[in-house]
Structure 1
Amino acid sequence: MSVEALKKPRLTTSAMIASIASEGQRTEAAPFGHALVEAARHNPNIVGLTADLSKYTDLHIFGQAFPERHFQMGMAEQLLMAAAGGMAKEGLAPFATTYAVFATRRAYDFIHQVIAEENLNVKICAALPGLTTGYGPSHQATDDLALMRAVPNMTVIDPCDALDTTQAVAAMAEHQGPVYMRLLRGKVPLLLDEYGYRFELGKAKLLRDGKDVLIISSGIMTMRALEVAERMQGGAAEVAVLHVPTLKPLDETTIIEQCRRSGRLVVVAENHSTVGGLGEAVALALLKARVSPAFQQIALPDAFLDAGALPTLHDRYGISTDTMVARIQQWLA
């Protein structure tokens, strides 16, 4: 065993569900639950539904504030989506919460046929996106964005932090039509307020500029990208970060504009499989626009991932800050 390995603290099983926040990073508790309560105060048609996971999607906060508008559907995700569709047809604005694997894989046909085909005003908020749990393939939603991007009428959102989540909920409440949002729950990192950020549906945001590398990212990978930029600043490279919170509709105009700048390595970073997510969406946009920068992708492999402690898995599959820095330095060399 190496000296470095001996120095690392021993990880316990709690690390399988550890916070995605870096050590010392500011966090905000349950931003989704509090944002939904605020939205519901202004819109009496908002209701909250869950499939036996109210506490684990932060919907319990909404249930405490509006018990008469909180519906516990039991472990029946297909019923959850069908009921949400029925409520929307009657004029309500349902927010349906469960784990991302159950929302997308188990209830896909109900989302497709009941909600999306009729363009109903249902908001699907799905926890444990990508590799944010160490409980193996049964709980790791590494393909959810690909599935939801393929559904007509569906808007797809992958927020970065607590601020992004809070503002996205408000925008979703105003938007008419089905939305799928990856849900960050519990103690969620807070960092975008330092960049003067404001969420706009369908808009990408350049958080910082740099002449050597452009990282195009969504979700928690924007947090990682900003850490990479800080780590490499003043030495290895100047790194720009373009945050893409809305994958559908995709802000192709801003992406293409940033990728037209010559001399930069373009890296798409996502907490999702290499298949069907942000990387493929960006690559297609660039191909259609005939823009061809040096292009690389940081993403999860097209495979069933291991179970284990999240820090270990993030290193193993290349989405930790350390592994991202190493790969980008290698590509630049």
Structure 2
Amino acid sequence: MLEGKKIATRESYGNALAEFGKVYPELVVLDADLTAATKTSIFKKAYPDRHFDCGIAECNMADIAAGLATTGKIPFISSFAMFVAGRAFEQIRNSIGYPHLNVKIGATHAGITVGEDGASHQCNEDISLMRSIPGMVVMCPSDDIEAKASVKAAIEYEGPVYIRFGRAPVPVINDKSEYEFKMGKGNILKEGTDVTIIATGICVCQALEAAMMLKGDGIDAKVINMHTVKPLDEELVIESAKTTKKIVTIEEHSIIGGLGSAVCDVLSTTLPTKVLKIGINDVFGESGSASALIHKYGLDAEGIYSKVKVFLRDGF
């Protein structure tokens, strides 16, 4: 099991906003009555005149941000993924995506690790929704370091960006000196020859643990951290498929329309490869602790290990 410091990426998001607020005076933050949960309260404390609580009115918040973007501001809108990506989808599509405005969407509490709040709050469809909007960048950082890097990249990018953050604390895995974050470019965390595991978000650390377990069985797994789902690093996906000829994708999201679908879109047209998609299998979540749900839905290292073993045994 990966040891060391753990921090929720939603907290990293709040810290990053406050940090970059010093550098970018045009940065403003909007929230929908969830400042404590989304951690935008950290920015609010530092820059109260640049933080706007829009109340439980996510659709209005998106439209206000669109207006602010036309004045030269760099607005971040924040709420739970279910509310900002789900409830405000039409406004994000028509008011932000269609005119390609410089609005950033910080979506916290994504996936089933919202836990006890249950299916109504567990958004497993947001990546699919945001991928479908033309010109929208979609990022899903794996830890504290990457969450801060994704916020900085979003600020520097001209156009709409969706960043997915989690509620539960996760290990810091990108604290290596050679780590470099580039929007649209995946990071190879481990080389391998037998199978390529492509993971995003909080599943990256679990993928690394699963690869260690597979190594004990003589299986050499390549592990890729695909922090940007759109635009996808197509070159890395194709190169890895050529090398290992077997691909596994892992995401805390529905297997419909997320990372797995993006990878299959690329391979089906360029290099047909058999792919195992590990994620939420077309079902709603349920109430329970984050760790219990991750285990039940097979997204922990043990579940990934078992599924990859079966895939390699029966898939070819």
The Cα shift of 1:146 comes to: 0.4
What are the within-5 Å matches in structure 2 for residues 127-142 of structure 1? Answer: 127-134=108-115, 135-142=117-124
Kindly indicate whether the alpha-carbon contact (under 8 Å) linking 1:58 and 1:185 is maintained by their aligned counterparts in 2: no
Classify the secondary structure of the residue corresponding to 2:20: helix
Q: Distance in 1 between matches of 2:41 and 2:167?
A: 12
Q: Distance in 1 between matches of 2:263 and 2:217?
A: 28
Which 5+ residue runs of structure 1 have no aligned equivalent?
A: 1-21
Q: What do residues 263-289 of structure 1 show as CA deviations (whole Å, max 9, x unaligned)?
A: x43111111101101111111101111
The Cα shift of 1:24 comes to: 4.3
Q: Distance in 2 between matches of 1:72 and 1:208?
A: 42
Match of 1:42 among 13, 23, 30: 23
What are the within-5 Å matches in structure 2 for residues 1-333 of structure 1? Answer: 24-28=3-7, 30-134=11-115, 135-184=117-166, 187-194=169-176, 196-262=178-244, 264-289=245-270, 291-333=271-313
Q: Distance in 2 between matches of 1:54 and 1:309?
A: 22
Classify the secondary structure of the residue corresponding to 2:159: coil
Taking a change above 3 Å as real, the CA distance of residues 195 and 300 of structure 1, as seen in their structure-2 partners, is farther
Matched letter for residue 278 of structure 1: L
Matched letter for residue 293 of structure 1: T
The Cα shift of 1:310 comes to: 2.1
TM-score scaled by length of structure 2: 0.93
Matched letter for residue 322 of structure 1: E
Tell which deviates more after alignment, 187-196 or 46-55.
187-196
Q: Between Structure 1 and Structure 2, how many residues are aligned?
A: 310
Runs of 4+ in 1 over 3 A off after TM superposition: 22-25, 184-188
Taking a change above 3 Å as real, the CA distance of residues 186 and 327 of structure 1, as seen in their structure-2 partners, is closer
Q: Distance in 2 between matches of 1:321 and 1:181?
A: 24
Matched letter for residue 160 of structure 2: P
Q: What do residues 113-160 of structure 1 show as CA deviations (whole Å, max 9, x unaligned)?
A: 111111111100001111111222211110000000001121110111
The Cα shift of 1:178 comes to: 0.5
Q: Distance in 1 between matches of 2:2 and 2:213?
A: 15
Q: What do residues 200-246 of structure 1 show as CA deviations (whole Å, max 9, x unaligned)?
A: 11111111111222101111111111111122224341111011111
Kindly indicate whether the alpha-carbon contact (under 8 Å) linking 1:31 and 1:188 is maintained by their aligned counterparts in 2: no
Tell which deviates more after alignment, 203-212 or 291-300.
291-300
Kindly indicate whether the alpha-carbon contact (under 8 Å) linking 1:164 and 1:198 is maintained by their aligned counterparts in 2: no
CA RMSD in angstroms comes to 1.6
Q: Distance in 1 between matches of 2:26 and 2:60?
A: 20
Kindly indicate whether the alpha-carbon contact (under 8 Å) linking 1:212 and 1:237 is maintained by their aligned counterparts in 2: yes
Q: What do residues 50-102 of structure 1 show as CA deviations (whole Å, max 9, x unaligned)?
A: 00111111111111111110111111111111111111111111011100000
Kindly indicate whether the alpha-carbon contact (under 8 Å) linking 1:26 and 1:191 is maintained by their aligned counterparts in 2: no
Kindly indicate whether the alpha-carbon contact (under 8 Å) linking 2:4 and 2:172 is maintained by their aligned counterparts in 1: yes
Classify the secondary structure of the residue corresponding to 1:42: coil
Kindly indicate whether the alpha-carbon contact (under 8 Å) linking 1:236 and 1:329 is maintained by their aligned counterparts in 2: no
The Cα shift of 1:49 comes to: 0.7
